[in-house]
Structure 1
């Protein structure tokens, strides 16, 4: 079995943090710092935002360690395999799945984990329209966007029923199961505004002993801006062949290190057990591999995508446009977006930023997915063509080469990304330089990760950004990005539940078409026909460019050799099977 960052089948707002490092001042001699015998230590870039798995929208989050679902995907094979469920059966018409739970499952407080917890988790949490959850979009079926029915069959069996065939049906049942005996009253009780108390429950200020989980680890302690410590869940269900309880490793420590420079220093000094390897410092760490007693794993093209996007939302709040009106005209002009795409030198990014350890990304679907369309063509670097496109659209240049629109507004916008991510900061700096060559001024502004998430999800106050999404083999994981009403339709986001409404939001025809194709793709059970549908979505995404894809790096991680049993996967990383890993005797 495996442990991997909590997967909500749909793409979580992840905003994938590529772990990259700059540390030229690191000590040349490798320190002999020793780790505790039954502990692994890693680094994350920012504090967790919530301890509530249903409400989580970001990575890093704690839930890959603390919760299991009914099933899980094996990142080495791509197969769906049992987790809390012992087995499952499909009805002949493929509209029902009946799961049988493993026996004697327990929560971390010793209480029984039952079918009632499964029914509660789906019916009262994920399927509850009063609770905003990215997971809900991945469960919607067909044009009606109907949600499944989840019913108790008996004390060990639960049945999921849908109204029409749904190819990713089984995978969609991998959501974390949460404890009814703790959370039910928080769903029923309302605050003064009529919202469930659940919306403010299990925040990051919750004492760790009050967080009840079913996964490999439970939260031991959390110190803001310092570290998160997990300890073995004594009631975890999995054992090895000899009957020993898993996981073997007692504690997992996440050091919160907002600078990747510092992370590299800490790894080289021996105080971290693993680190994502940036292309820039691959050669440095490769030279130190033997002396530092670690192994660099290369999984090939990484899952996920990195892209630049403009805010295409034409709506207003309180009579004020979310995006300045004349800038909104630029951003919503597909020819403007194409000119921008032609102005970004991705070969330079690969050579200078990724040091050759990456390739151009031309699709919203991960390169490693069987649904990836390799025939999708990207936008080659051509500044003269970009200028030609802009002048045809009514833009003009002054004597100094500065670009203005037809109303004499200088073409200038703010580009955001999350501060501390050195790769994204480098990408933003290059884009600023690239667009200067076609007369555009870019105010590149890295900001705190949580502030960026708030802008993208809540205030919608942004012009352009660089972020990334996690990916997977199943394209339906992206439906809440591509469905116009999806929680992650960030380039033209509708208000989140409980947020102030938007007037005048416009959904383009191509936008609607991509969303409809995702519905059709999930409905089609034949693989070849499904692939044809998702090929169309990739072609449309590149034609209309709501997201301007940049570079797909290779999946590289360095792991101490003291950690044994590592089976590296670009989908699950080095610790997907953390419960089976051991620490070598030293």
Structure 2
């Protein structure tokens, strides 16, 4: 048998006990460390969770991605500039009054030709750099007034028959002076956000003004496209761009250098983060709003009337409110492409056969008589629409009622008579042909996803079929439509909306013949391929004359007479055919506090910095 140590077993047992104690100690130690780690992790997660909970977030939507991050290149609405940039002044969305913004005050000389603005003290860009009078001069002189840059904003400040711009100069870091060649009534509103001139950062963009790209255009024109990292966009508004995922969302965060404060001195905006989702279908937007995924619907384009009725019934259960701000200030219209120009290669912009129809006043009047606006209002707008007879917003003091202009009540027989008198003919099947035997047929476009416009296009197709015209109606992506209207000019007819407001001259870029949004006869634009043979129509020239006269006139009674004549010209000559406009309808969560909603502003969230989210 093997010899054992008399203490061997004891020794063995003690070693086992010692090892057991060690394991228990290690387990306790590990458990303690884990507990500490977990406590730290929970503490950190709790802090993060609290931070996430504490962060106020607003989720909005729009039908399509932004076309650009470059202010001067923008021709679409809504856009990032509503959130991210401000002007010298802003227009109050409830009263229409012009209020201080980046400028705290201004003075107008007795001759109405010198306006001096004083900037607020301590203004900064989102990168912390000072915002001074240099930025104001740069924005107006080097961007907006630059003939090589096709900024729509320039059309609102062309003065007199020569289309001269004000002279702008820095007096000191906080004061800037504008000298006008003659009195110009719309000047102050042209400086007002959201639709006026928005100030851009000289320290970032100035080099691009002095360099040209390989295409021969200023480098500025290709700067700040949607391929630019969002955090590189330097802004002065309430929100800066944080991230962008094409086709999904654009996220804004509050600008820590934004100047506004509330009455208690607290910095604005209150809402920390805005998620702007791109949802290319209004039915899908409705589903997401009803499910609670969206906080607002109808802020940029009024709610569809059937949505209004549905959501009104769900207000209490859904914990939201539906707002009715009366008639919306914009206009909804149909237009034909009347551009007589040819490309540099000699190709006509518009098929000459169709151009002959589109430039025939009797043809346009026949189409206007053939559209059943009452049916449109009843079936599509549920009776909540407003039949339009004027291109000026109903909120404007220059608006005239239907009794003061020519109107086109539904009258298909009158439409047929006008066409036949103009040399068009019908065959045995009721199809319309022109005098040369060409079947009258054209393409009609609108932006896909906007169900109201899609329904309007479908009805117009039916209405015009009743007078023998074949319409090929095609809704397309909004950005694609914008490119056709503003660049390629490759279209026959379109349906689209245009924002409005108090001052008629704010739409100068649409109505004046050299305007960047004068789509129905778009002139050559800076940075685009040259055109041959473009010329304004007779009514273009008359509208130019009236807009120049209206801008120069300071007597309000005389201004009203001038713009009344403008409205008569539009209805007599039909450069566009007005349809039925929306009522201003918007829905928003009950916990969104501070909304000031009416039909006047183009954007329902015009006072965004002042909005608060409660109890979320």
The correspondence for 1:576, drawn from 574, 582, 606, is 606
Q: Which residue of 1 aligns with 2:566?
A: 537
The structure-2 alpha-carbon separation of the partners of 1:36 and 1:400, relative to structure 1 and needing over 3 Å to count, comes to farther
Report the counterpart of residue 172 of structure 2 in structure 1.
Answer: 154
1:307 to 326, 329, 333: 333
CA distance in 2, matches of 1:104, 1:485: 39
Matched residue, 1:376: 405
Q: Supply the distance in 1 between the matched residues of 2:251 and 2:317 (Cα, whole angstroms).
A: 29
Matches within 5 A, 1:179-198: 179-198=201-220
Given candidates 358, 368, 374, the residue that maps to 1:347 is 374
For these two proteins, the number of residue pairs brought into alignment is 553
Deviation for aligned residue 1:193: 3.6
Equivalent residue for 1:120? 138
The counterpart of 2:66, out of the listed 37, 45, 48, is 48
Correspondence for 1:559 = 588
Runs of 4+ in 1 over 6 A off after TM superposition: none
Aligned to 1:431: 460
Mapped partners of 1:577, 1:215: distance in 2: 12
Structure 2 match to 1:218 = 240
SS in 1 for 2:582: strand
Q: What is the CA-CA distance between 1:316 and the residue it aligns to?
A: 1.4
The Cα RMSD (Å) is 1.3
For the pair 1:464 / 2:493, whether they are aligned, the reply is yes
Of 317-326 and 84-93, deviating more is 317-326
Q: Offset at 1:237?
A: 0.6
- 2 CA distance for matches of 1:570 and 1:510? 30
Q: Is the 8 A contact 1:46 1:60 kept in 2?
A: no
| Deviation of 1:36 (Å) | 7.7
Deviation at 1:496, TM superposition (A): 1.8
Contact kept in structure 2, 1:372 and 1:535, CA below 8 Å: yes
Q: Deviations over 1:136-165 (max 9, x none)?
A: 111111111110000011121100110101
2:556 to 523, 527, 531: 527
1:386 aligned counterpart, secondary structure: helix
**CA positional deviation for 1:324:** 1.3
Which deviations, in whole Å up to 9, do the C-alpha atoms of 1:306-336 show, x marking residues without a partner?
Answer: 0110001112122221111111111100001
Corresponding residue number in structure 1 for 2:88: 70
Which residue, 347, 350, 356 being the options, matches 1:323?
350
What secondary structure does 1:291 align onto?
A: helix
Show the 5 A alignment for 1:56-205.
56-174=74-192, 175-205=197-227
Question: C-alpha displacement at 1:505, in angstroms?
Answer: 2.2
- Partners of 1:427 and 1:168 lie apart in 2 by 34
**Structure 1, unpaired ranges of 5+:** 1-33
320-329 vs 403-412, greater mean Cα deviation: 320-329
State the Cα deviation string for residues 263-309 of structure 1 (Å, max 9, x = none): 00000000000112211222211110111011111010001100110
- Looking at structure 1, the residues matched to 370 and 507 of structure 2 have their Cα atoms a distance apart, in angstroms, of 27
**Pair member with larger Rg:** 2
The equivalent of 1:389 in structure 2 is: 418
Contact 2:93–2:597 (Cα < 8 Å) also in 1: no
Native 8 Å contact 1:37 1:583 kept in 2: no
TM-score by length of 1: 0.93
Return the alpha-carbon distance in structure 2 between the equivalents of residues 296 and 452 of structure 1.
31
**Which residue number in structure 2 is paired with residue 507 of structure 1?**
536
- Distance in 1, Cα, partners of 2:479 & 2:489: 14
* Matches of 1:314 and 1:169, distance apart in 2: 33
Helix, strand or coil: the match of 1:289?
helix
Q: How does 1:217-366 map to 2 (within 5 A)?
A: 217-276=239-298, 277-317=303-343, 318-366=345-393
Distance 1:35 1:290 in 2: 25
Cα distance change, pair 37–105 in 1 and its aligned pair in 2 (3 A): closer
Aligned to 1:426, the other structure's residue is in SS state helix
How far residue 177 of structure 1 moved from its aligned partner, in angstroms, is 0.9
- Structure 2 unaligned blocks of 5 or more: 1-51
Residue aligned with 2:529, SS: coil
Residue 37 of structure 1 deviates from its aligned partner by 5.4
SS in 1 for 2:377: helix
Counterpart Cα distance in 1 of 2:223 and 2:89: 26
Residue of structure 1 in register with 2:5 after alignment = none
Q: Secondary structure at the match of 2:571?
A: helix
TM-score (norm. length: structure 2):
0.88
